Structure 1
Amino acid sequence: MNLQAGIKPLFYVIIEFKPWLLAAITVLVANLASNSLWDTFQIWAELQRGEISPFRILWVGLFFVMVVLLFRQRDKFFPPRTRYLQNEKAQKRKHLVLFLSTVHPDFEKTNGIPEKLHLSYQNISDDLASIKKKRTEEELRWNWEMPLRAINHHLGIIESVTICCSRQSLLQVHLFLNICKRYGQLEKVRFVLLGLHNNRPKLVDSSDFVMDSGEFRQENFVEYTGCDFESFDELTRALLYLIAKNKHFENEIMIDITGGQKPTSIVGASVTFNQKIKAQYIQTGGDNEVLSYDVILAKAEAGSIGL
């Protein structure tokens, strides 16, 4: 355990040092490349015939490669000095990412739903209205109301839902999936789980362990664990893994930061910075409006952030 704890900080030190190492190598290679070009220009200026030097070509080529690598690390050298959040009504997107909290253990006996709550499974909006009425009149609390609202907001365009589970909610996620699968509106929506396999982020298609009939294949599920919703590093690695896997349609991803705990909201919002991905939050009161929070780059001057 102590060895693993020591390896993680060392890993992050190497990651942070990488841009500076690239910069140092680029400077050294630049000197060799400039000497090679200078020698070549001198030969041309004297109208002499020189020999092709593989080393000169190597140094010049390596210099351009290092420039490209250094350019890709530019955000490490020029981070934004000022940031702010701009909220607006969330646009519909094709791919939704949400954090699933646990429900009361007693709800497991009634398929994850409170005993006093009855869903028609005909229309999500109608059932959400019933849930809200129960919440207002009888103070009934159900943690899976907001994930349903998050999905409902994107109906008509949504193609996939990625569910990031905690250690505990991973044991209940099949109940949530069974609820979603009973709605005809979500028949063509693909559900994917973001969990850990051998302590590494892994995407798993829900069809691997939850059949259309609702049967739960636990034997296909025991190798996976949920994320620690209190661990900023673990959540960040999981979401960055998700973004890397879906880089080609990044502008179609929305991360819902309503569920989970405070670290999940912080990580969910922070990974959208300087990305085409956006984060949304559902108001817990009033009309339960869905707002999109976009982290905007601002200059250091006070006037650029409205001060």
Structure 2
Amino acid sequence: MTKFNNREARKILVSFIGSEVLTIRGILTLVAIVLTFSWFPDGLGALVKSIFSEETQMYFQIGIPALILVGVYFYLYFNKDNLITPMDMHVDDAKEAKVLILFLSSNRAVQDALKVSSIEELGINNFRMPITAINYHKNKLKKVVVVCSKDSESNFDDFIACVKNILKDFDTSKILKHTSIINFEDAEQVYKLLENQYSKLKEEKIREKEIIIDVTGGQKIISIASCIFALPNDREIQYVSTTDYKVKSYDIRYDRENG
């Protein structure tokens, strides 16, 4: 199946059951829809046939669908502005996660970062945000997945050393470098990486609500691709403010209640 066909198949799945993830509820909904669309026309046809002649039945079978199609067309035409599902973004203090996915930015001031023993002493150093994120979730964290670019890969060991200096009570063996080095400006690579990572974590019995994607580091493409990845299935992303260093979660979803 090509990428285009795969994407279109996902759109159809989302249209029918509201999610790319197959669940018992989604499958039952799909079965109910299929049965309705298959049995209703047959039942209606049999009813008309039992009451009217074959010629009248033919007019019914042609006329009623035509009237419905015309009605649907005019309804969509006059309500097109109200049919766009609005977005809902819930912003709040992030909930502690079991798995944190970080994108590590390159750091030219590594030596300065290695000299400090607290987060505040880091100042505006590029290591401050990811270490703040780890510190925020550290009581519940089972794993930190650090994604590096070609430029930031050489900073990984220094990042671990910096975490050891600052978060002395945190087990740095939980911090794992992602096996592949990606281009932070390639949205497709970022999206595929997140897909693969979530699949692996699912095999480890980690629920999606226990995973959070930190989009503070890397390029702006990281934020864009992560938002697109997070939207369909109610996944969460977080951002560490570069002004007050608060950790906020952004739960982006379609607002079906008001849509």
TM-score of the aligned structures, taking structure 1 as reference length: 0.55
- Cα 1:189–1:274, aligned 2, differ >3 Å: closer, same or farther? farther
Q: CA deviation at 1:19?
A: 6.0
Q: How does 1:166-245 map to 2 (within 5 A)?
A: 166-182=149-165, 183-187=167-171, 189-196=173-180, 226-245=181-200
8 Å contact kept, 1:159–1:188: no
* Equivalence for 1:263: 221
> Bigger CA drift: 180-189 or 264-273?
180-189
Distance 1:147 1:20 in 2: 34
* Equivalence for 2:233: 275
Q: How does 1:1-307 map to 2 (within 5 A)?
A: 11-18=2-9, 81-104=85-108, 107=109, 112-114=110-112, 118-120=115-117, 127-131=118-122, 135=123, 141-182=124-165, 183-187=167-171, 189-196=173-180, 226-247=181-202, 248-249=205-206, 250-275=208-233, 277-286=235-244, 288-299=245-256, 304=258
Distance 1:84 1:273 in 2: 10
Indicate the percent of aligned positions where both proteins have the same amino acid: 26
Q: CA deviation at 1:275?
A: 3.1
Q: Counterpart amino acid of 1:14? A: N
- Cα 1:274–1:155, aligned 2, differ >3 Å: closer, same or farther? same
The Cα offsets for residues 199-257 of structure 1, whole Å up to 9 and x where unpaired, read as xxxxxxxxxxxxxxxxxxxxxxxxxxx11111111110011110111123122111111
The Cα offsets for residues 8-56 of structure 1, whole Å up to 9 and x where unpaired, read as xx8312323546999xxxxxxx9xxx9xxxxxxxxxxxxxxxxxxxxxx
Distance 1:275 1:189 in 2: 30
Q: Counterpart amino acid of 2:104? A: L
8 Å contact kept, 2:96–2:136: yes
The Cα offsets for residues 63-111 of structure 1, whole Å up to 9 and x where unpaired, read as xxxxxxxxxxxxxxxxx8332321011111111111100011xx4xxxx
| Greater relative contact order (CA < 8 Å, ≥ 6 in sequence) | 2
Number of aligned residue pairs: give it: 193
8 Å contact kept, 1:158–1:189: no
* Equivalence for 1:57: none
Q: CA deviation at 1:274?
A: 3.7
Runs of 4+ in 1 over 4 A off after TM superposition: 17-22
> Bigger CA drift: 143-152 or 244-253?
244-253
Distance 2:232 2:10 in 1: 18
Could you say what the CA RMSD is over the residues aligned between the two structures, in angstroms?
A: 3.3
Distance 1:296 1:277 in 2: 9
Q: Counterpart amino acid of 2:99? A: H
8 Å contact kept, 1:252–1:277: no
TM-score of the aligned structures, taking structure 2 as reference length: 0.64
Distance 2:120 2:153 in 1: 27
* Equivalence for 1:223: none
Q: CA deviation at 1:178?
A: 2.4
* Equivalence for 1:26: none
Structure 1 spans left out of the alignment, 5+ residues: 1-9, 23-29, 35-79, 121-126, 136-140, 197-225
8 Å contact kept, 1:195–1:227: no
Distance 2:251 2:231 in 1: 7
The Cα offsets for residues 254-283 of structure 1, whole Å up to 9 and x where unpaired, read as 111111110101122222224353111111
The Cα offsets for residues 157-184 of structure 1, whole Å up to 9 and x where unpaired, read as 1121001111211122121122224443
Q: Counterpart amino acid of 1:194? A: H
Q: Counterpart amino acid of 1:230? A: E
Q: Give the match's secondary structure for 1:229.
A: coil
Q: Counterpart amino acid of 2:176? A: V
